[in-house]
């Protein structure tokens, strides 16, 4: 065997992906897609409408509006929808072609995308909460428990976005799964006085915001973080097993 033949049989060393560079790229791309003039106008209008409705409730009513409507309803829905859409966007043919040609592990890509979308949604919801606190102070309402609100906001965005990521990775009909989850886990299991109710995200949110039960704020926040990590891990594992080659625009 001559030198040329032997050299042709030698495999070149595999280039390890630079995860830090991939993370920065995913975050920049997500921010460029989300922070456009059109999206910022939409966010501003949404915050303005929510702020106006809160203002009309007056005094103590605005505190209930912040806790029950913003933190317990709007934030979970927005976070879930944002997470599920982020995953489904990556399963479209054009995005798939780009994804499978990059030397980044799929699990890492899912984690990076989650962090990027989480930061975007957190900014939007923090702005909303800030406007609502300003309105509450403007109408003379007694504002207390802001620390609990912030913990609940971060925990709610983290957990419900992770839920959206998982269900978005399962099917394009993630809204149906979301409704099933809401009815079975949040509506039924979460209200049963047994240990399995720890699966309910809203239960932990209630404990953070209102201090219900014997669970401390730190423990409830820890449960929200644990749920978010488990759900993201499940989404990453499921995303890694998907067969992208041969999909022509169809969605599972």
Please write the tens of the pLDDT for every residue from 104-151.
788 888 899 999 999 999 999 999 999 989 888 888 888 888 999 999
Closest CA to 20 of 108, 101, 95: 108
Q: Return the structure tokens found at 148.
A: 């609990």
Q: Where would I find the H helices in the chain? A: 3-9, 19-34, 37-57, 59-64, 75-90, 93-99, 106-138, 146-170, 174-181, 201-210, 217-241
Cα dihedral sign for 206, 180, 158, 143? negative
CB 190 within 8 A of CB 199: yes
CB 83 within 8 A of CB 114: yes
CB 177 within 8 A of CB 88: no
Rounded CA gap, 206 and 229, in Å? Answer: 20
What pLDDT is attached to residue 225? Answer: 94
CB 159 within 8 A of CB 228: yes
What pLDDT is attached to residue 161? Answer: 95
Rounded CA gap, 56 and 210, in Å? Answer: 23
User: What is the Cα 162 distance to its own chain's centre?
Assistant: 5
Confidence of residue 233 (pLDDT cuts 50, 70, 90): very high
Confidence of residue 5 (pLDDT cuts 50, 70, 90): very low
CB 156 within 8 A of CB 76: yes
* Least trusted range by pLDDT, from 41-50, 85-94, 173-182, 190-199: 190-199
Give the predicted TM-score (pTM) of the model: 0.82
The widest CA-to-CA distance across the chain, in whole angstroms, is 89
Closest CA to 166 of 227, 105, 103: 227
- Is residue 246 pLDDT above 80, yes or no? no
């Amino acid at each position: 065997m001559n030198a040329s033949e032997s050299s042709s049989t030698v495999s070149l060393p595999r280039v390890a992906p630079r995860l830090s560079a991939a993370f920065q790229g995913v975050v920049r791309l997500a921010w460029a897609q989300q922070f456009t003039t059109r999206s910022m106008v939409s966010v501003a209008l949404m915050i303005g409408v929510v702020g106006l409705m809160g203002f009309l409730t007056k005094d103590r009513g605005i505190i209930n509006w912040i806790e029950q409507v913003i933190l317990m309803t709007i934030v979970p829905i927005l976070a879930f929808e944002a997470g599920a859409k982020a995953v489904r966007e990556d399963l479209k043919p054009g995005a798939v072609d780009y994804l499978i040609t990059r030397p980044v592990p799929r699990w890492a890509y899912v984690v990076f995308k989650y962090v990027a979308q989480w930061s975007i949604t957190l900014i939007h919801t923090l702005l909303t909460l800030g406007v609502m606190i300003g309105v509450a102070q403007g109408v003379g309402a007694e504002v207390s428990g802001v620390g609990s609100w912030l913990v609940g906001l971060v925990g709610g965005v983290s957990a419900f976005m992770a839920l959206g990521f998982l269900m978005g990775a399962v099917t394009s009909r993630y809204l149906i799964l979301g409704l099933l989850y809401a009815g079975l886990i949040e509506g039924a299991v979460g209200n049963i006085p047994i240990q399995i109710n720890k699966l309910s995200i809203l239960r932990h949110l209630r404990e953070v915001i209102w201090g219900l039960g014997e669970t401390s704020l730190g423990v409830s926040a820890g449960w929200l973080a644990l749920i978010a990590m488990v759900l993201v891990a499940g989404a990453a594992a499921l995303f890694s097993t998907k067969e992208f080659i041969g999909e022509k625009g169809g969605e599972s």
